[in-house]
Structure 1
Amino acid sequence: MDNFYVSPTEFASISGVSRQTLIFYEKKGIFLPAYKNEKGYRFYLMSQLDIIATIQSLQKIGLSLEEIKDYIEHRNAQSTYELFSNKINTLKEIITTYHKMINMMETKCQLITKANQILTDMVYIEYRDEIKIIKSDYIPFNSKEINQYKILGEHIKYRKKQNHSLGHAISGMVEWKKMLKSKRKKTFYQYYYTILDNQLEDENYDIIPSGNYLVIYHKGTYETSYQSYHLFLDYAKKNHLVLDDIAYDESLIDELTEANPQNYITQISVKFKKELE
């Protein structure tokens, strides 16, 4: 490349970097004119195009101006390797986060679609594949309500720490037969849980077993889902079914989707088998 001087306007036009940006870089000490004459006019060398292109590239991968200045002044093959290796890892983490965000939004769209296709207050039979979950600590049925919320808070913190908060909403397990016999006027969960993606790293998890389930779709607040549990008993009696003791409450329409809690839709599932004849 021929090495001759050009004005800031000419250099800006050739490099694609605005004159104001060149002045800003100069003030920050990142990229300086090659020459100033006695009148204070600035001039750049064409050989500086490589440096300005490098600065623009480093900004695109997320380096701060301070990091760029230090890199330009001290760069060598080893420091470049270390810089890019670290940035690759950072970008991979960002990509993973964006993939989780996309999955969360796709899941929400699927749940909304399902909620629009079902009828509430009737019983469905559905086959469910095994589902991997993370469970909270156990909440005894006779516990005070404040204990339920404390454990919910711990589960929320864990989801955030493990970056599960971009996935499925928090769900709940209920000892539903006890719930029907009790005097409680709100659904009381024995566990909170989070549905996991299939790909897991080193993390302990539980499962919701595969099998046939009775499923009810309850419309209303989370606290009122227990009001639909009696439908399980009615259906099981008519069809000679034996029902498990645990119900799984999972949100289709929740606070992220709907402003009015009365319009929430909760999928309630109970595993069953046929009575022995």
Structure 2
Amino acid sequence: MKKEYLTISQFSALSGISRKNLIYYDKINLFSPKMVSEKGYRLYEENQLDTISVIWILRELGKSIKEIKIYLQERTPEKMLSLFQEEQEQIDKKIRTLKQYKDMLKKRIELTKQADLITIGKITFIQQEKESILISEKINQNYNEALVNFYSIIEQQDIVQGYPIGAIVGKNELSDGQFTNFSYFYINKFAEDKNLLSIKPEGTYAVMYDYCDYNKTEKLYRKMLDELAKNGYEVDGDAYEEYIIDEVAEKNPDQYLVKVMIKVKKMTIG
């Protein structure tokens, strides 16, 4: 039975690789037809579809022509296993990263939609379950250095940037009226290193929203503390400050929407 070959047009249609690329691969000795006819037509065998598909996948994964050529010239089952397992690990890493991008976008979408349902300047009380958060090192005097170090921690934990970063104001700072003297930065994100995780305690929290620029929240905090006293509550823990609308969505800093949560308890009488 006479062996049947595929023309370059047929091979291109079956493989999804353009004629132009097939000709180019042939010229650089990356992937050549099984034979060339007397009239100069490139002819391919069906089993070459497997090889061209792997070349295409490796190119899509970022491998250079040089790297692929070396592999094809030196390929063995052992080298194939090594290369494919390495690429599989890289794909898994990319999938994890893409899932985080999706999660980050979803988080910002939810926060922005939440802004339409918020009553500005009104204190509410909620019951909060305990929640794991990723925190920075203790902030001392150098605010900027602490922020840079926190971004470094985020990167080390393979967490993509873009998640809204909040700040914790300690109970003592609240009592002293030092509302912009942050104790920690945090994000609502799980981390592999358990030592970097802290717990936002369960309990009753007072919540209030307002429009204001970064580090201009003193008026909001004072209003909250006044409202707490009127409602028979006192501070029982730290404050958690985060922005629902920040510079990602709003040009005017005065229109940033901040949310403050303070752990509280009912005042004891007597």
The farther-off stretch of 47-56 and 228-237 is 47-56
Question: What TM-score do you get using the length of structure 2 for normalisation?
Answer: 0.86
Equivalent residue of 1:222, what SS? Answer: coil
Shift in alpha-carbon separation, 1:208–1:150, aligned structure 2, 3 A: same
| Deviation (angstroms), 1:170 | 1.2
Distance 1:248 1:49 in 2: 58
Amino acid at match of 2:96: T
Shift in alpha-carbon separation, 1:2–1:271, aligned structure 2, 3 A: farther
Task: Say if 2:149 is the partner of 1:154.
Answer: yes
Question: Is the 1:167–1:196 contact (alpha carbons within 8 Å) kept by the matching residues of 2?
Answer: no
| Deviation (angstroms), 1:139 | 2.8
Question: Is the 2:169–2:183 contact (alpha carbons within 8 Å) kept by the matching residues of 1?
Answer: yes
Task: Say if 2:72 is the partner of 1:79.
Answer: no
Equivalent residue of 1:229, what SS? Answer: helix
Measured against aligned partners, the alpha-carbon deviations of 1:168-198 in whole angstroms (never above 9, x if no partner) come to: 311111247646856x7x823122122223x
Distance 2:139 2:54 in 1: 58
Equivalent residue of 1:100, what SS? Answer: helix
Question: Is the 2:37–2:43 contact (alpha carbons within 8 Å) kept by the matching residues of 1?
Answer: no
The farther-off stretch of 200-209 and 51-60 is 51-60
Matches within 5 A, 1:126-275: 126-140=126-140, 143=141, 147-166=142-161, 168-175=163-170, 178=173, 187-197=180-190, 200-204=191-195, 205-244=197-236, 246-275=238-267
| Deviation (angstroms), 1:56 | 2.9
Question: Is the 1:34–1:45 contact (alpha carbons within 8 Å) kept by the matching residues of 2?
Answer: yes
Equivalent residue of 2:139, what SS? Answer: coil
Question: Is the 1:176–1:229 contact (alpha carbons within 8 Å) kept by the matching residues of 2?
Answer: no
CA RMSD of aligned residues (A): 2.8
Distance 2:89 2:60 in 1: 16
Matches within 5 A, 1:16-31: 16-31=16-31
Distance 1:13 1:112 in 2: 46
Identity %: 29
| Deviation (angstroms), 1:165 | 3.8
| Deviation (angstroms), 1:6 | 6.0
Task: Say if 2:55 is the partner of 1:55.
Answer: yes
Unaligned runs of 5+ in 2: none
Question: Is the 1:100–1:166 contact (alpha carbons within 8 Å) kept by the matching residues of 2?
Answer: no
| Deviation (angstroms), 1:218 | 1.9
Equivalent residue of 2:215, what SS? Answer: helix
The farther-off stretch of 26-35 and 259-268 is 26-35
- The count of corresponding residues between Structure 1 and Structure 2 is 267
Distance 1:55 1:23 in 2: 14
Runs of 4+ in structure 1 over 6 Å off: none
Matches within 5 A, 1:58-137: 58-137=58-137
